Amino acid sequence: MLPEKTKKWIDERTGYKNFLHAIFLLNFPTKRRSRWQFIWGGALVLMMLVEIVTGTLLMTVYSPSEAAAWGSVHYIETQVNLGWFVRGLHHYTAHMMIVAIIVQIFLVIVSAGYRKPKEFIYWTSLLIGGVIVGLTITGNPLPWDQKGYWSYQIETGIAGTMPGIGSTLRSLVVGGSEFGNLTLTRLYTIHVIVLPVIAILLFTIHMALIRRERLRTAKIKEAADDPDVDFELDEDDPLKDEITQPYWPYQTTRTLVLTLFLIGIVIIQMMTYPTLKNQHVNTELLEWEADLHPSEIKLEAPADSALPFVARPEWFVRFLFELRHMVPKDLEVLVTAVLPGVLLAILVLVPFYEKVLGEKWGQRLAIAVYVGGILIISGISWYGIQTERSAPDYALNRSQEIAYAARASWLASENGVPPEGPASLLRNDPKSMGPLIFARHCGICHTWNGHDGTGHFIMEMKDGKKVKATPRASDLAGFATTKWIAEFLTNPRDPKFFGHVGSLKGGDAILNGDMSDWADSYVGPEGILSKADIEAVSALLAREANRRDYEPVSEAVIKRGISVFSGQNFKGKDGKVVDFDGYCAQCHAMKAGDPDDEGGGAAPDFNGYGSAKWLSEFIRSPGAEKFYGDKNVMPAFEESKLSKHDLNLLVNWMRGEWQRPTTDK
Amino acid sequence: MRRRKFLKYCTSVLSSIYAIILAVPALGFLFSTLKRGQQEKATYELAKLNDLEPGVPQRFTIIDRRVDAWTKYPSGPIGSVWISKNEDESITAFSSTCPHLGCVVDYVPGDKVFFCPCHAATFESNGSIVSGPQPRGMDELNASIKTIRGEKWIVVEYEKFETGIAEKVSIS
Ligand code: FES
């Protein structure tokens, strides 16, 4: 690039050529047989460089605080050009590095790279590996999404069980006893400064040691090859194998081939990631339809300890997590603190195996222990993942998590993240919170399409067995729609409606009360009311609720509904006006259906029936005069039981009112 | 030695690929975050025409929602304008941001001049320079009169301009 003269001018003043030689180990000997083995270290360095570059880029946008972290990562993924690529590269290359370390240590053991005088080279490489694992563990929670948050909970939880120093260590990395802003700033500091600096220091020492060792070998070779020097290598000396060959370009080419191959895998993985990751889950399960296609979901939902999430640790510490659940409680310390220590000792002590067992058997033992250990650890992790996936509710829970992730991403793109933080995106969203509130407060008696709103079934113990509980009150999915009301009027005693109310104290008055009598006398083949009459009066009632899925009906249908409701002008099945004494207004009040405004009073007031206001009032005091009065069996949900905020979310969710893409309006 | 040459060649090709994988996303990433001034031009109905006294500029605050990268703030002040009604009922609106370095410009009723307290930039009430370090006169904004429910309202199109240069360059 530069003209020879300029190069010379600079070199005379800086000695950079020597420096480059030193860095690229020019003319250092390499093992003839293992030229492809010694490139993993170089590939690791190049991948570390990728991490440094992409990490620095991410730092220009990322903001480490509870209120901003998730939003800034979402911004990187969706707004910044190629942000998804940079973040994906950073994330997956880190995992690839851990794979590379596992391979590298294996190759070192196979080629006896720990043998005298290379013990310290081996130990520093172990330390660097440890730092890289640390970088991955501290990097993953940084987006402060559910996945990172919960896996860090588990990892710090494991650290906290260490005897003696455990709790101090935990509060040191967590920044107190609770997760919060300090957790993120600490994580961030450790991730971007502390660990990288340690890694670079270790790497420098490591390279210096390697240089020293290579130089020594080169000198011995030189002497052996020099006919003037009276020095011969033994026939079986490993140095016989070495050839003198510059690192550049012979090893650099190989290193680059491997690096690009590994990064290629990373890029492929990154492009197929979301779909690949959740391939085994049906994302449209039950109520949990996701707002975005899985391939568009880049982040789990914002961290929120109030939202359900099945915590899983990173894959490389998974085995500790699984083992912890396999052993009895008081042996936990063995797994979480002693075991990692033992594993570490096994690795660190490898150079000494040969002292005891001799070179051949020492190395064999080292290989056996390493490969065996990895097989056992992968076995445990694989078993853990399989058990988790085959758990009865796994698909349901996971599709809920995916739906939350999709919902949060969609809301953030649509509305922006509010200043108080991303968690409020879901906390103020009826679609996300409704099912949870329903399950907590209503799901004990009511059902929603048969389940508790979230897709789970309420269980109860019967004869020592867990069985699906019988609901005690009506199923509220589709409440106040024409269809729901028509079904109810046709058969109020149906298990879906009043069927099980009788099992409640005082519920008999409702089950066998006026409404059931009414249906017995007027509905059905013998009854005076036709199917069309039922439908008309249902539509009239549903009009009061005015849900978003209400389809307006013709004036004639409404008129017919009014005639059923008020009993005036009622036409029988033959089309003639007849007397009808089963009209609704006898008991129910509703201005829209009753021109005379008789007022009802004996049964729930239907003015605004099913509307947000009506529902809220009803839930607050179902026993009020205008609702069930003294027949009421439903508990009242006052402010102390159900906050105004939650009530609004619940009511809006029941009515299907939440922010949706404008296209399906 | 042929082999060595070939390998050298390979090294440079491969390392270029490596560099491209890093450099392309890096440039895309950096340049998209360097973009600024995402706020769009918007119009605001600020005051009723009749409420203004001819010849006396009044300051009005612009209230709007502000988006800062990923955060969306609820409504709050994002800037202010000086509006004056001339004798012939026409309207002049100036951004209150000083074209020197961006302080907020005041009006001195006695001297009938705009005055910036930061470095003493002084402007005529028609916005032209009297004295001071400012490179241009006050930034005039598009203002018009709109009849809403029978009343005349002053509508101003608010935007921000680069400071410190002689040309008036919008940063929307
Ligand atoms: S900013 Fe107004 S005079 Fe300098």
pLDDT digits (tens, 9 = 90+) for B5-51: 888 899 899 999 999 999 999 999 998 877 655 556 788 988 888 88
Q: B107 alpha carbon to ligand 1 midpoint, in Å?
A: 14
pLDDT of residue A536: 92
The whole-angstrom distance between A267's CA and the closest CA on chain B is 10
- For the cut 70, the answer to whether the pLDDT of residue A274 exceeds it is no
Q: Which of A180, A69, A73, A206 is nearest to A128 (CA)?
A: A206
More confident residue, A26 or A63: A63
Q: Is B129 found in the same domain as B71? A: yes
Nearest protein Cα to ligand 1, atom 1: B101
* B119 CB within 6 A, ligand 1: yes
pLDDT tens profile A455-492: 888 888 888 888 888 888 899 998 999 999 999 998 88
Q: Ligand 1 centre and the CA of B102: distance in Å? A: 6
> How far is Cα of residue A412 from the mean position of the Cα atoms in its chain?
17
Confirm or reject: Cβ of B47 under 6 Å from ligand 1. no
B28 shares its domain with B97: no
Q: How many domains does chain B have?
A: 2
In a domain, B171, yes or no: no
DSSP bridge pairs for A391: none
Ligand 1 atom nearest B98 alpha carbon:
2
Write down the ipTM of this complex. Answer: 0.83
B165 falls within a domain: no
CA A283 to CA A395: how far, in whole Å?
Answer: 8
Measured CA to CA in angstroms, residue A425 lies from A237, A283, A433, A451, B70 at distances of 68, 21, 10, 25, 13
pLDDT at A24: 64
Specify the ligand 1 atom closest to the Cα of B116.
Answer: 2
A75 touches chain B (CB under 8 A): yes
The per-residue pLDDT for A55 is 96
Ligand 1 neighbourhood includes B46 CB (under 6 angstroms): no
pLDDT for A660: 85
Q: Which pLDDT does position A46 carry in this prediction?
A: 93
Give B105's DSSP letter: P
- Tell me what percent of the residues of chain A surpass a pLDDT of 90: 39
Q: Where does the pLDDT of residue A517 fall: very low under 50, low under 70, confident under 90, or very high at 90 and above?
A: confident
Average pLDDT over residues A394-409: 87
pLDDT above 90 (res A117): no
pLDDT band at A665 (very low <50, low <70, confident <90, very high): very low
CA dist list (Å): A161 to A131, A336, A414, B79: 21, 7, 43, 54
Which of A455, A323, A303, A430 minimizes the C-alpha distance to A379?
A323
End-to-end CA distance of chain B: 60
Give the C-alpha distances (Å, rounded to integers) separating A4 from A9, A11, A238, A246, B14.
9, 10, 41, 22, 25
Check whether A635 has a pLDDT greater than 70: yes
Task: Give the list of residues 6+ apart from residue A164 with CB closer than 8 angstroms, or none.
Answer: none
In A, residues 603-642, which contact B (CB 8 Å cutoff)? none
Q: What is the DSSP letter of A190?
A: I
Helices B2-34/A40-59 angle, 10° precision? 20
> Average pLDDT of A414-422?
91
Q: Mutation test of the interface with chain A: which of B1, B16, B29, B64, choosing the one with the most A Cβ atoms within 10 A?
A: B29
pTM of the model: 0.88
Q: What's the pLDDT band for B89 if we cut at 50, 70, 90?
A: confident
* Closest approach of A202 to chain B, Cα-based (Å): 25
Query: In angstroms, what is the span from residue A148 Cα to ligand 1's centroid?
Result: 48
Paired tokens of B80 = 């202010």
Contact A63, A184 (CB under 8 A): no
- Interacting residues of A529 by C-beta distance below 8 A, sequence separation 6+: A522, A523, A564, A582
Higher pLDDT, A240 or B102: B102
DSSP structure class, residue B170: B
Residue B90 in contact with residue B165, Cβ under 8 Å? Answer: no
- Note whether B51 and B77 are same-domain residues: yes
CATH number at residue B100: 2.102.10.10
Residues of B in contact with A82 (CB under 8 A): 24-25, 28-29, 32
Distance CA A49, CA A505 (A): 71
> In the predicted model, is pLDDT for residue A574 greater than 80?
no
Identify the three-state secondary structure at position A11. helix
- Tell me, what's the pLDDT at A216? 81
A1-10, A162-171, A515-524, B19-28 — most confident range: B19-28
Pocket lining: B98 vs ligand 1, CB cutoff 6 Å:
yes
Minimum-distance CB partner of B70 among A46, A50, A74: A74
- The whole-angstrom separation of Cα A30 and Cα B169 is 63
Is B48 found in the same domain as B21?
no
Q: Which of A257, A416, A419 sits opposite B14 (nearest CB)?
A: A257
| Percentage of the residues of chain A whose pLDDT score is greater than 70 | 92
**What order of strands is seen across the sheet that includes strand B71-85?**
B58-68, B71-85, B91-95, B140-141
Contact with chain B for residue A248, Cβ under 8 A: yes
Residues B20 and B93 placed together within one structural domain of the fold: no
Q: How far apart are the first and last CA of chain A?
A: 62
Task: Report the SS3 class of residue A108.
Answer: helix
Identify the pLDDT of residue A35: 63
| Cα gap A309→A387, rounded to integer Å | 17
State mean pLDDT over A514-519.
87
CATH 1.20.810.10 maps onto chain A at 4-13+35-216+239-263+285-390
Contact flag B71-A419 (C-beta cutoff 8 Å): yes
C-alpha dihedral sign at A378, A379, A380, A384: positive
Which of A309, A400, A412, A401 has its CA nearest to residue A69?
A412
Longest dimension (CA), chain A: 131
Contact B95, B160 (CB under 8 A): yes
**Residue numbers of A between 88 and 117 with CB closer than 8 Å to B:** 89
Residues of A in contact with B31 (CB under 8 A): 81
The alpha carbon of B156 and the centre of ligand 1 are apart by a number of angstroms equal to: 23
Is A259 an interface residue toward B (CB < 8 Å)?
A: yes
Instruction: Look up residue B50 and give its two tokens.
Output: 């009749």
- One domain for residues B63 and B137: yes
Residue B130 sits in the same domain as residue B56? yes
> Mean per-residue pLDDT for A241-270?
84
Alpha helices in A391-475 (DSSP H): 394-415, 423-427, 430-437
pLDDT computed for residue A495 by the predictor: 86
Please determine, for residue A418, whether its predicted confidence score (pLDDT) is greater than 70: yes
Higher local confidence (pLDDT), A6 or A277: A6
Fill in the DSSP letter of residue A365.
H
Pairing of the two strands B143-148 and B106-108: unpaired
* A vs B: CB pairs below 8 A: 94
Location of structure tokens 């017919």: A560
What is the rounded average pLDDT of the residues A30-38?
62
Residue B52 lies in a domain: yes
Query: CA separation (Å) from A265 to A95, A207, A273, A435, A463?
Result: 11, 28, 12, 40, 55
Q: Are residues B80 and B145 in the same domain?
A: yes
When mean pLDDT is compared over A204-208, A394-398, B16-20, the highest value belongs to: B16-20
Distance of alpha carbon A309 from alpha carbon A302, whole angstroms: 11
Helices (H), A444-530: 482-490, 508-511, 514-522
Does one domain contain both B73 and B132?
A: yes
Domain extent for B15: 3-35
CB contact under 8 A, B70 and A412: yes
Q: Decide if B27 contacts A273 (C-beta within 8 A).
A: no
Phi, psi (5° rounding) for residue A598? -65, -30
Average pLDDT taken over every residue of chain A: 86
CB B142 within 8 A of CB B96: no
Q: Which residues contact B171 (CB under 8 A, 6 or more apart)?
A: B36, B37, B159, B160, B161, B162
* CA distance to partner chain B, nearest, from residue A36 (Å): 14
* pLDDT over 60 at A556, yes or no: yes
The CATH superfamily label for domain A4-13+35-216+239-263+285-390 reads Cytochrome Bc1 Complex; Chain C (1.20.810.10)
Q: Are A53 and B29 a contacting pair at CB < 8 A?
A: no
Whether A547 shows a pLDDT value over 60: the answer reads: yes
In a domain, B164, yes or no: no
Residue range A501-511: mean pLDDT, rounded: 81
Are B58 and B25 part of one and the same domain? no
Give the count of beta carbons closer than 10 Å to the beta carbon of residue A598. Answer: 17
pLDDT at position B1 is: 62
User: B71 with B125, same domain?
Assistant: yes
Q: What is the amino acid identity at position A220?
A: I
Cα–Cα separations (whole angstroms), residue B136 to A274, B98, B126: 54, 9, 13
Residues B52 and B98 in one domain: yes
Q: How many residues does chain B have?
A: 172
Q: Which residues pair with residue A115 across a beta bridge?
A: none
